[in-house]
Amino acid sequence: MTATCEQPLVLHKEKVLALKDAIELLSGKWKFCILLNLYNYGTLRFKDLQETSVGITPKVLSKELQELEENQLITRTVNNTKPVTVSYALTPHATEIQPVINALVEFGLKHRMKIKGTPS
């Protein structure tokens, strides 16, 4: 094959790899919920994130937050309070995901309406 014939295949493979990376990064039941809450409410303490992510256990929330922090999507700040509290905020890198979340919310609303005939 010539280079011009292989190029589209290489680009396709790069796109598939990029998609797999993004899905792996954001996989899990709670990551989108956590990110959406941080987009909507700004900086939140651990307890606030747990309350806005209805149904999540502290152990799972802690694990999800750690993964988001490791991937530079959120920052973790230990506050100088008594008792000590921890706050989480989005990084500038995370703002690139906001259009994806907005698109998924819109699709979810349309899909729910189509399948169930009700918005909630």
Tens digit of pLDDT for each residue in 89-102? 999 999 999 999 99
Domain boundary assignment for the chain: 3-91
The whole-angstrom separation of Cα 113 and Cα 102 is 17
Residue 1, pLDDT above cutoff 80 = no
Q: Are 64 and 28 in contact (CB under 8 A)?
A: yes
* b/e burial code for range 18-40 (CB count within 10 A of at least 16 → b): eeeeeeeebeeebbbbbbbbbee
pLDDT attached to residue 6: 57
pLDDT attached to residue 2: 47
Residue 30, pLDDT above cutoff 60 = yes
pLDDT attached to residue 100: 93
User: Any idea what the Cα angle at residue 61 is, between residues 56 and 62, rounded to 5°?
Assistant: 155
Q: What share of the chain is helix, strand, coil (3-state, %, to 5)?
A: 65, 10, 20
Query: Model pTM?
Result: 0.81
What's the CATH number of domain 3-91, 3.40.50.620, 2.60.40.1120, 3.40.50.300, 1.10.10.10?
A: 1.10.10.10
pLDDT attached to residue 28: 87
Tell me the backbone φ, ψ of residue 82, rounded to 5 degrees: -125, 120
